[in-house]
């Protein structure tokens, strides 16, 4: 009885295996495969890990990648029409139309793909952070984005430079000494330093030079040092332009911006810079006198608008000699209100004074310069003619 049962189970298992084989066999007979080899068109070297995507009606069906030898094979595909995409980063995508029929294995043979990379002529790296260079006679601060955002004017960013200090009245000192000369592009200005620094937008400044050991070129006798503010000046080939803008948040926002342009063709370079600074400033204060118990209150508001223009031209005579001409024009329009109230224990003696003033000044500098590079590295012969005009109404 047991032997009969075992035989029945064995026969049932054989029939089951045959049934499974019968159901799977038609599926294998009605499928096909796509194979091929991918190489670099320029070097003829096989390309590994290339993406092979099989699509039907723009829908992805399956896919794979090439082997180390660039070979691929996609199996068990239904007998239909497909589009095969050969994709690889940095190479152009190749499309192949394939139609699978009964017992069909399609070999696309060798597929050569070419690079799709754009060759760059050059890369210009622009530093966005301020850097400090220590030279023999000076310290050079190359003004980056981090420093221009510290303030809207040259006066405000000066306090973020080591060894330089600007007090609340705008007076500048270098290493604790106020006997400092301030230059713009190496030239003096007729405007008082404290006023000049408030008029120059921070975005117009390329670098600041702290000359603590000035040469005889600057007539430095009796001075603790020189602060030279160098404005932007482009000298790239063709037409170039850059725009910078900044916003300082306070009681009211202060806006500053600058535009730098240049056009260089052949031996001539034309350049121009425009910068501005707009904003209101508020000051409040009080003085309490203990002898008569009076209290003096101040309420001050300044609304200043400054404009800075720099226009010029360089003519490169040859590799050793350059002739330059340019002008700097600095214009300030300012309105101010000063309200003073004196309060006494006796209200009949109270006093209120309202003051309003407006100012308009223009500082113009004109420069003609000839520079000759000598055979000694770093040595130059400079001939300059400078003319400055200052006018102001208040």
| CATH numbers and ranges of domains, the chain | 30-113 (2.60.40.10), 131-393 (2.170.130.10)
| pLDDT score for 118 | 61
HSE-up (13 A, CA, CB side) for residue 62? 10
Question: Which tokens belong to 294?
Answer: 């009076």
Nearest to 320 by CA among 279, 379, 390, 266: 379
Sign of CA dihedral 3, 9, 13, 14: positive
What radius of gyration do the chain's Cα atoms show?
39
Nearest Cα residue to 83 out of 105, 61, 114, 111 = 61
Contacts of 181 (CB under 8 A, 6+ apart): 188, 193, 218, 220, 223, 225, 226, 227
pLDDT tens, residue by residue, 183-217: 887 777 766 777 777 778 777 788 888 887 776 66
Q: pTM score > 0.95 for this model?
A: no
Cα 245–chain centre separation: 11
Whole-number Å distance between alpha carbons of 339 and 213: 45
Strand partners, 263: 239, 270
Give CA angle at 141 (137, 146), nearest 5°.
170
- Of 118, 51, 123, which is closest to residue 90 (Cα–Cα)? 118
Query: Distance (Å, rounded) from C-alpha 61 to C-alpha 362?
Result: 74
CA distances from 314 to 186, 231, 270, 321 (A): 17, 15, 7, 11
From edge to edge, which strands make up the β-sheet containing 71-78? 71-78, 31-40, 105-113
DSSP assigned state of 347: G
Low-confidence ranges of the chain (pLDDT < 70): 1-29, 103, 117-130, 145-152, 168-170, 190-191, 215-223, 234-235, 378
Where does residue 336 rank: exposed (0-12), middle (13-18), buried (19+ CB within 10 A)?
middle
What is the tens place of the pLDDT at every residue in 248-259? 777 788 888 888
């Amino acid at each position: 009885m047991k032997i009969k049962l075992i035989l029945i189970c064995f026969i049932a298992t054989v029939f089951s295996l045959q049934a499974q084989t019968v159901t799977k066999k038609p599926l294998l007979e009605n499928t096909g495969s796509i194979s091929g080899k991918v190489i670099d068109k320029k070097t003829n070297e096989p390309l590994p890990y290339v993406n092979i995507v099989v699509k039907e009606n723009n829908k992805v069906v399956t896919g794979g990648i090439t082997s180390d030898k660039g070979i691929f094979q996609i199996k068990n595909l239904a007998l239909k029409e497909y589009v095969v995409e050969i994709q690889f980063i940095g190479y152009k995508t190749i499309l192949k139309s394939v139609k699978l029929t009964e017992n069909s294995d399609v070999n696309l043979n060798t597929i050569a793909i070419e690079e799709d990379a754009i060759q760059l002529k050059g890369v210009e790296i622009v530093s966005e952070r301020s850097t400090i260079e220590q030279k023999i006679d000076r310290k050079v601060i190359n003004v980056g984005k981090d420093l221009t955002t510290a303030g809207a004017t040259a006066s405000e960013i000066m306090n973020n430079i080591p060894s330089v200090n600007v007090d609340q009245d705008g007076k500048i000192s270098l290493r604790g000494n106020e006997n400092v000369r301030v230059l713009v592009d190496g030239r003096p200005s007729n405007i008082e330093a404290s006023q000049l620094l408030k008029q120059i937008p921070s975005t117009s400044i390329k670098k600041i030079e702290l000359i603590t050991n000035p040469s005889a070129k600057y007539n430095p006798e009796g001075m603790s040092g020189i602060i030279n503010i160098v404005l932007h000046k482009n000298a790239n080939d063709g037409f170039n332009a850059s725009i910078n803008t900044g916003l300082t948040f306070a009681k009211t926002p202060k806006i500053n911006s600058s535009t730098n342009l240049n056009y260089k063709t052949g031996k001539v370079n034309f350049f121009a810079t425009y910068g501005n600074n707009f904003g209101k400033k508020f000051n409040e204060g009080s003085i309490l006198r203990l002898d008569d118990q009076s209290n003096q209150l101040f309420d001050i508001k300044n609304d200043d608008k400054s404009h800075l223009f720099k226009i010029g031209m360089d003519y490169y005579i040859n590799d050793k000699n350059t002739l330059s001409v340019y002008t700097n024009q600095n214009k300030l329009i300012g309105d101010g209100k000063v309200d003073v109230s004196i309060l006494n224990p006796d209200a009949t003696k109270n006093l209120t004074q309202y003051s309003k003033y407006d100012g308009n000044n223009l500082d113009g500098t004109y420069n003609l310069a000839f520079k000759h590079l000598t055979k000694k590295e770093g040595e130059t012969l400079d001939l300059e003619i400078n003319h400055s005009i200052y006018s102001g109404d208040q």
